[in-house]
Chain A
Amino acid sequence: MRPLITAVGLLLGWEALVWVSGVPSYILPPPSRVLAVLVERSDLLLGEAVWTATEMIVGLLLGLVLGATLAIVFAASAGWRRWALPLVIVSQAIPVIAIAPLLVLWLGYGMASKVAMAALVIFFPVVSALYDGLRRTNEGWVDLARTMDASPRAVLLQIRLPAALPAFASGARIAAAVAPIGAVIGEWVGASAGLGYLMTLSLARGQTALAFAALVVLCLLGLALYYATDWAARVFVPWQSQGE
């Protein structure tokens, strides 16, 4: 309840500031104006939101699959770990924004470049969380499995992997929180649709209120994606709170 009161207070302050200072609406639109635009242009906003949401979700799934695969490969094979893991870490030193124009150049203005962008931002937290989880298995479980004559493959798939799922879930939560960054940066650089595209377009035309409305929708999308991921993690990894 308290954060809500704080938020309402800030919005009222913002509204008052605009009226008192007389800032033109194309510089800083008051919240009431943004709300009005949200309602008036809801069809447009919804259409762009569906586009961006698709980019985010597909990117998230792709990043999760890619990240999980890499983490499992690294956990299973010392060779891959030695040759490719440093590369994965170095890849994070490249600012994503710097690659965005290249991805648009290679994959076009459509959805593919944004999906790739989101997946690129996402896969690192996933790899690092799951790989960490795979390395930190309770050694007692592994010893027990060895006395049961389990193969290394069975130990990985039936013990290490399920034991690492809570760590994977934390990685997925972080991934869901950063997925919008990838998608929107991709849209800013070059796109034909989406909320990020709408923002650049409306800002260029002086429709600042519409840009703000797009931003509000983007925030809601990000929150929805995060809570959906959190819910999925709770449902599919219910043992995370009781882990050994």
Chain B
Amino acid sequence: MTYLSAAPPLLVRDARIAFGDRLVARDLTLEFPAGRTTCLLGRSGVGKTSLLRWLAGLLPEAPRAQPVAYMAQSDLLLPWLSVLDNVLLGYRLRGDRTALASAEERARTLLDAVGLADRLDDRPGQLSGGMRQRAALARTLCEDRPVVLMDEPFAHLDAVTRLELQDLAARLLAGRTAVLVTHDPLEALCVGHQIRVLSGTPFIAGPAIEPAGVVPRDPADPALLGLHARLVAELRGLAP
């Protein structure tokens, strides 16, 4: 399911991001490398979600730089549509019948990849939390957009389900420029090619950390423990 056309890098230059009256970031310059997954790590309330919503063009007066696929914390599956129709939601909303017809094959392949091939006609209400989030992942990837933004997509899942989904997401995101927001250092180490820690008010992004090895990394790998300690220290504001 690699994204075939070359994914562009995502650039943020001198951005000013405000959430209501609160200034979240000032003169923010960030580059998310093309075709790789960048994890933004930060404590609750630092402004991770605002940055992601800004990138998605969901904040007022913040036009989106390029088309993105967006995955929120909750799965946002529509309860009245089947799993398959939920995955095809973007095509249904845009109302382009030809595109919808040609995307169906893709949706089925993706649902197969996330292990929901036999639940195509079920309603979201019949699925478990993990299955719902997998369906949401399939919907995000079905959008076939080079840039994928994910806002703590696995935060509400139990530990084992979360590991499975991180694995799956890391593999399916291959070749796309992805930004994944999380507050869990281990999650960042597991799926991110690159990790940036956000801290302060307004926040600044720490230097890019690039752990060795290919994603998805095994969270039990002892080599990651040193990095884990460093990330936790940075999150606490005890950075060297």
Q: Which A residues have a C-beta under 8 Å from some C-beta of B?
A: 138, 140-141, 143-151, 154-155, 158-159, 162-163, 165, 239, 242-244
A138, B68: Cα distance in complex, Å:
21
Contact between A148 and B143, CB atoms less than 8 A apart: yes
Contact between B123 and A154, CB atoms less than 8 A apart: no
Nearest first, the 8 A-B pairs at minimum CB distance are: A150-B93, A148-B90, A239-B79, A242-B125, A147-B70, A154-B93, A162-B80, A140-B76
A150, B70: Cα distance in complex, Å:
13
Partner of B76, one of A138, A146, A150, A165: A138
Min CB distance A238 to B, Å, is 8
Which positions 74-90 of chain B face chain A at CB distance < 8 Å? 74, 76, 78-80, 89-90
The chain B residue sitting closest to A148, CB to CB, is B90
Instruction: List the B side residues contacting A144 at CB < 8 Å.
Output: 70, 72, 76, 89
Partner of B79, one of A143, A148, A151, A244: A244
Q: Decide yes or no whether B171 CB sits under 8 A from chain A.
A: no
Q: Can you give 5 A-B contacts (C-beta < 8 A)?
A: A140-B72, A144-B89, A148-B90, A148-B94, A239-B125
Min CB distance B218 to A, Å, is 32
Contact between B78 and A159, CB atoms less than 8 A apart: yes
Q: Which B residues have a C-beta under 8 Å from some C-beta of A?
A: 53, 56-58, 64, 67-70, 72, 74, 76, 78-80, 89-90, 92-95, 123-125, 143
Min CB distance B53 to A, Å, is 8
Q: Which residue, B53, B67, B80, B123, has most C-beta atoms of chain A within 10 A?
A: B80
A46, B67: Cα distance in complex, Å:
64
Instruction: List the B side residues contacting A147 at CB < 8 Å.
Output: 56-58, 64, 68-70
Partner of B58, one of A146, A149, A159: A146
Given contacts A149-B67, A159-B78, contact A143 B125 (CB under 8 A): no
Partner of B93, one of A140, A148, A162, A242: A148
Min CB distance A157 to B, Å, is 10
Contact between B123 and A239, CB atoms less than 8 A apart: yes
Instruction: List the B side residues contacting A140 at CB < 8 Å.
Output: 72, 74, 76
Contact between A148 and B58, CB atoms less than 8 A apart: no
Min CB distance B46 to A, Å, is 20
